[in-house]
Structures are given as C-alpha cells and as structure tokens.
Amino acid sequence: MSIINIPFETMGLSKTIRLKQYFISFLRHSTIRKLFNFLKIEFQILIKSDRVSGMPYILKVENTNICNFKCPVCYENRKKHDFEGARGYGRMGLQDFQKIVDELSPWVYRINLYGFGEPFLFDEIFEMIRYATNHNISVAITSNFNTVANDKIDKILDSGLEHLVISIDGVDQKTYEKYQVGGDYDKVISNIQMLVEAKKKKKKKYPIVDWQFLIMRHNYHLQDKAARIAKSLGIGIRFSRIGVDLTNDKECSEWLPDINIREQLNFEDRLIEKQENIPLCTWLYRTAFINWDLGVSPCCNYYTGEKQYDFGNLQAKSFSVIWNGDSYVEARRIFKVRKSNCSNENICHKCIEKRKRMMESLPRQSEK
C-alpha cells in the first residue's frame, strides 16, 4: 500500500513532476505534530483499526453546492434537493469554515476547497483560502472557471491558493458543452490566459494550474489536441476517467468509451472486473468530506444530499467526537471483518453492497 497516495487518475503530468509537486507541498506544510499524526494514520490503515487515534490529514470542504453548470452525470444533476430530509442548496459561512480550520489545522496538510458546486461563485472563498493558508494548510480548488471576471484574477493570486485545477472536457465549444452544459469554452480559455499573464507579472509561483480533462465517449480521441492547447497556455494537464453509475445502462452507453479504451485507461469497470475482494476504503482514515451545512460525510463518492447518511454535524459535535463516533467505527469495522454487517442506514454498507453487485455482474478475469 502506498504511503503517499498520489492520485491515480492524473495521467497527463509525468509521475516525476507529480511526485515532486506533492513532496514539495508535503515538506512545505509539515510539522513534527503533522508528521507524527500522518504516520499514526498510515499505521492504523495497515492494521485496519476501527477506532483511530489520529486525525485526517486531508480534508475536502464544500463551500457551496450551488453550480452554474448542469453536467449530466454530476450527482447534483441526477437528484434535486426537493424531498424531505434533503440538504438543500446553500453556502458555507466564513465563521463555519474558520471553525473547521481552528479544530483541525494542527493535523491537516491540505484542504480541497470544493464539493458539488462552483467554488468561485461567492467571494468569501478568498477569505477562506487565506485563513487556511495562514494556518499552514495547502489549499486546492477545482473550478469550471467560467465565473471568474478580471477582478477575481488578482484575488486568486493574492489569496495563497496553492493548486488550481480547471475542468475543461473538450477542445472547442461543441465538444465542451456536450458534457459541461451551460459553459462557455472561449470564456474559460480567455480566463486562463488572463490568470497566467497576471501570474507572470506578479512573479507568483502559486497557484500551480492544471487543466482537468474527463475522458468520455465523445472526447477520448481529443487528448493529444488538449495536451497541445494546455502547453500553449502554459499550464499542466491531467486526464481523468469519467465516473458513471455502472448499474445504469443508459449512463454507461452514453458516456463510457468503448471497452478497449476503458481497458487501456483502467476505467472503474475494468478495475472492478479484476478484483477478488473489495479493497479497504482509506477515506475512512485519511480524509473526510464536510458539506456546506457542516454535515460530515465519509466521502463524496455518492449523492450527499440526503442528510440521514451524515456521520454527524459540526454544528452539534466537534469533529474529534464524530471521527470516532458510532457511524465511523461501524464503517471501518466492515473492512476489518470483511462483512457488511453494519446498519443498513450506514452509507458505507450501501456502497459495499452496490460494489458487490457490480463485481458479481461483471465477468471475472479468470472466467475469460
């Protein structure tokens, strides 16, 4: 098991460059306390502890779940918040964000400050970035970069943001808006050009800027062209695989590339096919997802709009209490005993059962 978990989906940048970026960030924000916590967490992953003595060293914090796009496969677009028990749409207040940082900054290396919305919609994002940066935390944001006007460019550069990932899933308006519905390709390219130029003028080292290109049925053949455009813009590029509900035949047929492409690029269905067992979920040790209303979710790989699946809420309890509360302990125990015998209301139980069904429905490698 890798100690430093380099994102597997980042394929555009060379491994050497990516390792260097992560290692520099790790050193830049490291303290003795953070390093000791990091080692404790990694050890407890190895022994599959259900109660954790350390704290997560990476956070994903959603400043808003409001978005200006209507991407078809996004969880937010699949199901609206119009039912009893729905989280609803909103934005995190600065004081709530500061509360998170105040409690967890002694252990956290990085905050991914985005969720299911567009992070640059609201200007308090810049104060959030600065507050985390002032507490020795690296901040990364993924954005569609369509809402960024001239006045926000300087704010981004002066905020302390360390890593900016810009989602562009095409190389012209036609291929771009096929998935990123509501977006303007020329506008996002123009905004990148403004950012890169301003960054040069200010002689700023950060943020590191990467283009994220989701590989899908309609655009997989455009990777080389996207890489050339990224190079001309002076930014990096990373190619990621689109995630779809593998039990939804319509989604699969519309968005997934042909099987030979999926095999080459290790799409999820090809990885599941090769698995004998469900691997340990390290989200339950290294990371947590905090929704805009302070609801704590174990991860963001499911629709988080149903509050009944929260593991707790920071308005009612501290994170340290939630982290070793019944829901987290129950979820970690699944992987320890290799049985999904926890409550049916625990979202990790539902996730595992769904993955089992997918594993059973796909032909095993040994059967071919």
Residue 232 scores a pLDDT above 60: yes
Can you give the C-alpha Rg of the chain in angstroms? 20
Q: Which residue has the higher pLDDT, 17 or 273?
A: 17
Q: What is the pLDDT of residues 236-253, one digit of tens each?
A: 999 988 888 777 788 888
Residue with tokens 């050009």: 193
pLDDT averaged over the chain? 87
pTM, whole model, 2 decimals? 0.90
Q: State how far the Cα of 191 lies from the Cα of 149, in Å rounded to an integer.
A: 7
For range 3-28, the mean pLDDT: 60
Query: Measured between alpha carbons, how far is residue 204 from residues 4, 13, 17, 89 in Å?
Result: 27, 21, 19, 35
Q: State how far the Cα of 142 lies from the Cα of 238, in Å rounded to an integer.
A: 12
Q: State how far the Cα of 300 lies from the Cα of 282, in Å rounded to an integer.
A: 13
Residue 80 scores a pLDDT above 50: yes
Cβ contact 243:251 at 8 Å: no
Q: Is 14 exposed, middle or buried (0-12, 13-18, 19+ CB in 10 A)?
A: exposed
> What is the pLDDT, as a whole number, of residue 10?
40
Instruction: Tell me which amino acid residue 70 is.
Output: K
Token reading at 216: 């899908």
What are 343-352's contacts with CB under 8 Å, separation 24+?
345/308, 345/309, 346/309, 347/297, 347/298, 347/302, 347/309, 348/281, 348/284, 348/298, 350/302, 351/301, 351/302, 352/278
Residue 298, number of CB atoms within 10 A of its CB: 24
Structure confidence at residue 274 as a pLDDT band (50, 70, 90): low
Q: State how far the Cα of 319 lies from the Cα of 238, in Å rounded to an integer.
A: 33
Residue 355 scores a pLDDT above 50: yes
Longest CA–CA separation in the chain, Å: 59
Residue 271 scores a pLDDT above 60: no
Residue with tokens 């290790």: 266
Q: Are strands 58-61 and 287-290 parallel, antiparallel or unpaired?
A: parallel
Nearest to 71 by CA among 209, 197, 171, 170: 170
> What is the pLDDT, as a whole number, of residue 360?
63
> What is the pLDDT, as a whole number, of residue 365?
42
Residue 150 scores a pLDDT above 90: no
